[in-house]
Amino acid sequence: MTKSNIAAVVLAAGLGTRMKSSLPKVLHSVAGQPMIGHLLDRLAGFGADRTVVVTSPGMSAVADFVAPAETTIQDPPLGTGHAVLAARDALADFDGDVLVLFGDTPLLTEGTMQAMVDVRRGKNNPAVVVLGFSPDDPGEYGRLVTGANGGLEKIVEYRDASEEEREIGLCNAGIMAIDGARLFDLLDDVGNDNAKGEYYLTDIVEVARSKGWGCVTVETEDPDEVMGVNSRTGLAEAEAAFQYRLRLQAMEDGATLQDPDTVWFSYDTTLGTDVRIGPNVVFGPGVSIGDNVEIRAFCHIEGAEVDNNAIIGPFARLRPGADIGPGVHIGNFVEVKEARLDEGAKANHLSYIGDSWVGAGANIGAGTITCNYDGFFKSRTEIGAGAFIGSNTALVAPVKVGAGAVTGAGSVIAKDVEGDALAITRAPQEELTGWALKYRLRKQTEKDKAEESAEKKAG
């Protein structure tokens, strides 16, 4: 079945008051991306011809985020049906199928979108296809009232439902596929005589029935997919469900997760094959990991690229711009930001490497710091291939250490070092024979005297 001639209307104008947030609800993130971003990604994958996002005044942040997707303003937001009406002008010349999605439903899959459009275009040409689901706890979701023939009779909102209707387990996911040629005729007949005084999108089902047009449901097997986020608790539940999906996918694609429940992925994390991930590893957005990489316990990685055969952690932090070459070792308490480490370089303990380039096979000793910031400007450090940076070296950028050079432990390197040279800045070592022994004797005598005189005074 063709995917063309489909428009999506994504509703995002609701005030989201239950979030108790100054941020519009749909911009709250799940797996490192605002909820509405997930929907737009799915729509792009699905191949919708056009997308209109409905926002309300004061939500320019949403318009900025979804650009170049078209936005329209619903002012003021008077309900989900009223929200779709706000897209009327944008869809004036459109008579294909309209998918209505809720911006607060970030787990929806392309497969479900396709199933809905297939049914919309299938048998009996129904006007409206509604996505249903049967959650363990139907809570306050709208209920789907089906007729004897299996068709959908109406949708009743929880607040407006009778005791009997509240017993229905089949709920409204909020997602609909509607015949674009009939959509606005249906919406024009929706009123607001209900518990919230809103124009409910859900009422188009009854309107369609009254016109003799068919309405049907498609039920998703996976209630998580249509979880609607209304509160912070709901956001945490969506995060958990999304993480579950990502962990499963990672393992299916050939990664080992020692304790999957403690690994946190981002929506866009990419892993090669035979990646081994220890417990308690967190991936922020923008991470790509090559083949046969080992990421040991307790690492935090974001905006970073890690090439094949590297070993990261335990307890390493890779920040944006970290570019870890093949076979590189990054050990415990090492932080890397905006820095490239070439093949086989090692920084195994307690280091900060920022705004730097480290050549192949270079060894960065424990405690080495690139002093990249002077309070005003950031500067670069370059460390040549095969260089050996002694423990506790401070590299005051801008500075270059040549290939094969050595810096003495504890040195503050503020000037460029030639290749194969030794640079050392610590003071020469002095030795005073017997000094420590004499020192202890002198101090002990002083202490004994002081105690004696204190006793005399007290006695």
Structure tokens given for 267: 């929506």
Q: Which residues pair with 400 in a beta bridge?
A: 382
Whether 349 is catalytic is: yes
Phi and psi based region of residue 274 (left: phi greater than 0; alpha: psi -120 to 50; beta: remaining):
left
With CA atoms as reference, report the closest residue to 109 among 41, 50, 161, 25: 41
Residue 397 interacts with, from Ca ion, ligand UD1, none (CB under 5-8 Å by kind): none
Check residue 230 for interaction with ligand UD1 (CB under 6 A).
yes
Give the DSSP letter string of 85-136: HTTTTTTTT--SEEEEEETT-TT--HHHHHHHHHHHTSTT--SEEEEEE--S
Residue whose CB is less far from Ca ion, 228 or 361? 228
Q: How far is the CB of 87 from ligand UD1 (least distance, A)?
A: 10
Per CB under 6 A, which region of 10-18, 181-189, 286-294, 414-422 contacts ligand UD1? 10-18
Task: Please report, as residue ranges, which positions from 65 to 94 form the binding site for ligand UD1 (by CB under 6 A).
Answer: 74, 77-80, 82-83
Check residue 13 for interaction with ligand UD1 (CB under 6 A).
yes
Q: How far apart are the first and last CA of the chain?
A: 105
Task: Please report, as residue ranges, which positions from 149 to 208 form the binding site for ligand UD1 (by CB under 6 A).
Answer: 155, 157, 171-174, 200-202
Check residue 141 for interaction with ligand UD1 (CB under 6 A).
yes
Check residue 132 for interaction with ligand UD1 (CB under 6 A).
no
Specify whether the CB–CB gap between 31 and 242 falls below 8 A. Answer: yes
For 78-115, b/e burial (b = at least 16 CB within 10 A) is bbbbbbbbbbeebbeebebbbbbbbbbbbbbbeebbbb
Per CB under 6 A, which region of 6-14, 273-281, 370-378, 436-444 contacts ligand UD1? 6-14
Q: How far is the CB of 230 from Ca ion (least distance, A)?
A: 5
Per CB under 6 A, which region of 5-13, 117-125, 302-310, 443-451 contacts ligand UD1? 5-13
Cα dihedral 35, 40, 43, 44, rounded to 10, equals -140
DSSP state, residue 427: P
Check residue 24 for interaction with Ca ion (CB under 5 A).
no
Check residue 228 for interaction with Ca ion (CB under 5 A).
yes
Instruction: Return the residue matching tokens 């490192």.
Output: 32
d(CA 116, CA 3): 11
Show Cβ contacts of residue 8 under 8 Å, excluding neighbours closer than 6 positions.
43, 48, 50, 51, 52, 98, 99, 100, 101
Which one of 7, 8, 9, 11 is in contact with ligand UD1 (CB under 6 A)? 11
Per CB under 6 A, which region of 41-49, 97-105, 352-360, 426-434 contacts ligand UD1? 97-105
Residue whose CB is less far from ligand UD1, 74 or 381? 74
Q: How far is the CB of 194 from ligand UD1 (least distance, A)?
A: 8
d(CA 334, CA 309): 18
Phi and psi based region of residue 154 (left: phi greater than 0; alpha: psi -120 to 50; beta: remaining):
beta
Per CB under 5 A, which region of 61-69, 222-230, 338-346, 359-367 contacts Ca ion? 222-230
Q: How far is the CB of 25 from Ca ion (least distance, A)?
A: 8
Q: How far is the CB of 217 from ligand UD1 (least distance, A)?
A: 12
Q: How far is the CB of 232 from Ca ion (least distance, A)?
A: 14
d(CA 308, CA 451): 67
With CA atoms as reference, report the closest residue to 1 among 124, 107, 102, 111: 111
Judged by CB under 5 A, the number of residues near Ca ion is 3
Task: Please report, as residue ranges, which positions from 230 to 269 form the binding site for Ca ion (by CB under 5 A).
Answer: 230
**Which residues are catalytically annotated?**
349
**Which residues here bind ligand UD1, judged by CB under 6 A?**
11-14, 54, 74, 77-80, 82-83, 102-104, 141-142, 155, 157, 171-174, 200-202, 228, 230
**Which residues here bind Ca ion, judged by CB under 5 A?**
104, 228, 230
